[in-house]
Structure 1
C-alpha cells in the first residue's frame, strides 16, 4: 500500500496560451497556439520528450517566446532540473510572460530550491495578478509552511478554501500545519482530504462499503488498510488493540514488506497483501484515519512502548554476526541517511552519506549501515575514520531490521521508516529532521510523544544539514566520552 501524494499542486501550463511574440506567417508551419496545446497535452501525460520536441519547433523560430520558455522550464522541472527550470521561468517573465500561473510555478521552483524569501515574493505576485485564483494563496501557504510561518500558512490555506471549498491540496496543507502546531482535533478532520488529492493512489479498489465511524461492529468484519509509508504503518499500528476492542473481527490489508512485522505484533490477526485475497467486510478504515476516530490529542497518544519486538532467533543470529563484523570495544551506531526516492518530500528529508562526515570522523564508534535502496551505492566512496559495516546484501526484510536494531547502542537517522521501528521498539534513536518537519514531530521539542525513546534534532536554518550534523556529532562525542 503506497502513500497518498502530499506534494504541492503540480506545475500548471499557462492557460489558453497566447504567444507573447507573434511569429511571421511562415516562421512556424502550425499555428503556435496549437503547438502549445499539443505540447501541454504531452506534458500533462508525462510524455516529456514529445513535449520538448514540439516546443523545439517554436523556440527554434522564436528563441525569446515567453510562453514556450515557461513550458520548457516546466519540462526541466519534471525532469528534476530545478535550477535550470527556474532560470527559464524567470527569463520568460522578464520577456513579458507576466501572469499568475507563471508566478505560481516559479514560486514552487524557488521553494524546492529553499529560496523561500523569493518563493514568498513570487506567490504574493501571483495573488496580486489574479486575486480570484485560489491556487495563488495555496502556493503562498506552501512557502509559509516551509518557513515555519504556520499561522500565515493556515491563513493562506483558509483564504484559498474560501474561494474553492473543495480544494483538497489546500485542506491537506491546512491539516499538516494544524497537526504540526499540535492542534490535533481540527488537524485530523482536515487530514481526511488526503485521498482526494489529484494523482493520489486510491486507498483501495472501489467499494460500496462505508468508511468506519469508530463504532462497534459486533458480528461483522472491519477491513483496516495499512496505508501510506512503512513508517506510517508502524506508527499507526499502535491503534490496533483499540480497534479490536470495538471490532473483534478484523482483517488487515498491508504491503508484503510489512506483513511479517504485523503478524509478529498481532498473532492471529488476518493479514493479506493482494486485493484478490480480500475477504468480505462491512466497513473499512485506513490506519492513518485511526487517530481521528480515537479522538487522539497530545496527552492521549497511545505510547505503550515497546509494542514492536524483534524475533528472538533473529536477534541472536544478528548479534553473532555483528560480533564478527564490528571491532570490539566500539559503540555500535546504526545509520540511515535516505528514505525512498519516490516519497513526495524526499528532497527535503534525505541526505548523502558524505554529509555524515563529522560523525564518521569520531573515535570510539563503529557505524552499522541500515540503509537500503539506491543510496547504498554511496558506501563505495566512504572515507570516514569510524569503521563502516555495510549490511545491505544481508538485510533481507524488516524482520532483519528489527533484529539488528536490538543489537545496536544507538540509531542515527533521517526521518524514515527505520526511526519508527526503533521508536516502536523503545530503542534509543536520534532523528535528524528537516527545518520544516513532517507534522508528527511537532515543533520546538527534542522528544516525541509518539516515541519516547527518540531524540529529535532540528535544523537551525532551512537546508543547513551541515550545521545539524555537526550538532549531532558533538552530542555523540560527548556520549562516547562519558561511557
Structure 2
C-alpha cells in the first residue's frame, strides 16, 4: 500500500499500532456522523493481512460506491477480491481503475500482474510486471515475479537476468536464490544452480525447496551420494508443506543408484506429491498398498484392477507384472490408455482382461485395485529379481497387409524414433534428438543399400523427415499407425530399433527386438547411471550423452557399433 493522504492513518498501515488498535480506530471513525469512508481502508487492510478475506471483502464492499475515485481503496479492494472465490473479475476491474486514476502507480501494475500470474496468464503477467518496473525499477518483487513468469513462458535467459536483478536489490531473498537456481538448472548451468541453492541454505538451512532442488542439480551433475544427503534432510522436515516432493525425489535417486528395495518402497509416496495432485482416477474400492494384503487376496483368487497412472512407456514396461499376478493366483484386470488397449488385449499371453481407463467409473468401482507402478514394490523387486524374460509381448498372428515390412534391398531394416512426448516441455527438449544429427551420418549407408530406415515417429515431429522423404530407403510410417498394436506389428519385423527414451523403445524391448536406446545426460531413473545395459531389457544397448545436450557423443559410438555389424567404417563412406 502507498502512504495514505490523511496523516492520522499512516501509523495504522506502517505497523506503529497493533492490529486491534487499528481496527478499533477505524470502527470509531466510521461510527461517527458523516464519517470519512477512507477509514474502512486500515480495517480492511488488517483483515486482509490476517487472511480473513471474506470479512475484508464484506467490509470494503460497503464503501465501494463511495470510493470509486480513490486509488488506495481500489488497489486494496483488488487485493482482497483476488483472494475471494468468484471475485477475480472485480479484482481485475479494481486494479485497472486504480491505474486509470494514477497511471504511474507501480503497485497497481504489480498486483494486476499477480492476478494474471495466478491464472497462468503468464504473458499478461510479464507485461504488467514490466510496466511496474518502468515506473519503479527498484521493485525487487516485480523482478522476482517477472523472472517466474518468464520461466513459465520458457524465456529462460530473461528469467535468469530478472532474478539476478532481484538479488542485486535484495540479496537476502531466499525465494529469489532458490528460483534463480531453478532457472539455472533448466538452462543446464548446474554449477550456478548449485551455488544459488547453497546461498539460499546459508540464509535458512531448513529451506525445503532449496534442499530438494539442490539435490536435483547434484543428481544432474552425477553427484548422487551428495543428493541423497540433502533429500534425507528435506524429507525430515515433515512440517514443511514445500517438502512434499522430498521423499519422492529421494525415491528416484535411490532407484537411480540401483537401490531398488528401498527405492520402490519410497516411491509409493508419489501420490502425496504435488505433481500427482491432478491425478483423480483412483477407484473407490480398496487400494492394495502392502505385499501382505496382495498375498491375502491371492489366497482368495481375487479379481483386482490394475490401473496405469503414468506414461505410455511406463505401462508397457511394467505390464510384465500382470503375469506375475496371474502366477500368484490373482485375476488381474488392466485399465489403461485407449492407445494401449488393443496392444495389451492382443499381445499379452496368457491374456488379461483390458479396459479403456476412461470407461472406469471410479465412484462405483469397488474391486481391490493398485497402480501399475506400485507392482515392483508389492513384489519386492530388487536389481537381481527384475522380471526380465523377453519377449513379454507376443503377436496374435501375422501382421495385416497394410503393416507388412518387405525385406530390405540389402542389409538391415532399422526403426528410428527421434523425439519424445511433447506434452512435457522440459523433458521433450532434453530427450529429443534433432533428426539431422543422426540421419546425415546414416545417409551414405542408405545410399549404398546397406540399410532401410523405417521412421516410426508420429505427430508433428515426424515433419522433420520431409527433407529426406524422397529417399528410396526411407519409409515414413507417420499416419499409418493407429495405435501401439499397429506399431508392434511393424517393430517386430525389424532387425533393430534406434530410439530416444520414449514408448517405442519400451515396446521394442518388450518384443525382444534388438534396441539401441539414445539417452540424454540426465536420463530417467529406470536406466540408472554409468551402464550400457538394462536389467529390464536384456537385449537393449544404452548409448548415453557424455555432456548435456551433446548428441554427437552418442552418434559417433552408435555409428561405430553399426559399422561393426558390416565390418565397415560407415562414417568414412561417401
Please give the alpha-carbon distance, in whole angstroms, between the structure 2 residues aligned to 1:82 and 1:203: 32
Pick from 259, 270, 273 the counterpart of residue 341 of structure 2: 259
Counterpart CA distance in 2 for 1:63 and 1:390 is 54
Aligned residue for 1:440? Answer: 526
Corresponding pairs, count: 454
Separation (CA, whole Å) in 2 of partners of 1:212 and 1:244: 18
1:307 is the counterpart of 2:381: no
* 105-114 or 264-273: bigger deviation: 264-273
**1:264-413 → structure 2 map (5 Å cutoff):** 264=346, 265=348, 266-276=350-360, 280-314=365-399, 317-319=402-404, 321-323=405-407, 328-343=409-424, 345-363=427-445, 364-382=450-468, 387-413=473-499
Q: Is 2:491 the partner of 1:415?
A: no
**Matches of 1:41 and 1:304 in 2, distance apart?**
54
Report Cα offsets for 1:273-299 as digits up to 9, x if no partner: 324456743321011000001010111
Task: Give the structure 1 partner of residue 234 of structure 2.
Answer: 160
- Name 1:431's counterpart in structure 2: 517
Equivalents in 2 of 1:193, 1:374: separation in Å?
Answer: 35
* Cα distance in 2 between the residues matched to 1:95 and 1:354: 45
For residues 79 and 382 of structure 1, what CA distance do their matches in structure 2 show?
32
Q: Equivalent residue for 2:60? A: none
1:177 and 2:263 are equivalent in the alignment = no
Q: CA deviation at 1:346?
A: 2.4
Give the 3-state SS of the residue equivalent to 2:296 in structure 1.
coil
TM superposition score normalised by structure 2? 0.74
Cα-Cα RMSD: 2.6
Contiguous gaps of at least 5 residues in structure 2: 1-50, 52-100, 570-574
Deviations 1:195-231 (A, max 9, x none): 2221423152462533343223226431110221111
CA contact (8 A) 1:447 1:455 kept: yes
Alignment match of 2:319 (pick from 206, 226, 237): 237
Q: Secondary structure at the match of 1:163?
A: coil
SS at match of 1:257: helix
* Residue aligning to 1:6: none
Q: Give yes or no for contact 1:120–1:144 (8 Å, CA) kept in 2.
A: yes
CA distance in structure 2 between the aligned counterparts of 1:447 and 1:124, rounded to whole angstroms: 35
Higher helix share: 2
Following TM superposition, by how much is the alpha carbon of 1:77 offset from its aligned partner in structure 2, in angstroms?
A: 0.9
SS of 1:335 mapped into structure 2: strand
Deviations, residues 160-179 of structure 1 (Å, cap 9, x unaligned): 12223673311111111100
Q: CA deviation at 1:302?
A: 0.6
CA radius of gyration, larger in:
2
Equivalent-residue separation in structure 1 for 2:394 and 2:285 (angstroms): 37
SS where residue 339 of structure 2 aligns? coil
Runs of at least 5 residues in structure 1 that lack an aligned partner in the other structure: 1-15, 17-25
Deviates more, 1:458-467 or 1:50-59: 50-59
Deviations along 1:327-356, one digit per CA (max 9) or x if unpaired, are x11422211011101236223212221221
Deviation at 1:258, TM superposition (A): 0.8
Asked whether the equivalents of residues 332 and 410 of structure 1 are also in contact (C-alpha less than 8 Å), the reply is: yes
**How far has the Cα of 1:442 moved from its partner?**
1.6
Give the TM-score, by structure 1 length: 0.87
1:475 to 546, 549, 561: 561
Contact 1:168–1:194 (CA<8 Å) still a contact in 2?
Answer: no
Structure 2 distance, partners of 1:211, 1:42, is 42
Query: Which residue number in structure 1 is paired with residue 267 of structure 2?
Result: 191
2:284 corresponds to 1:207: yes
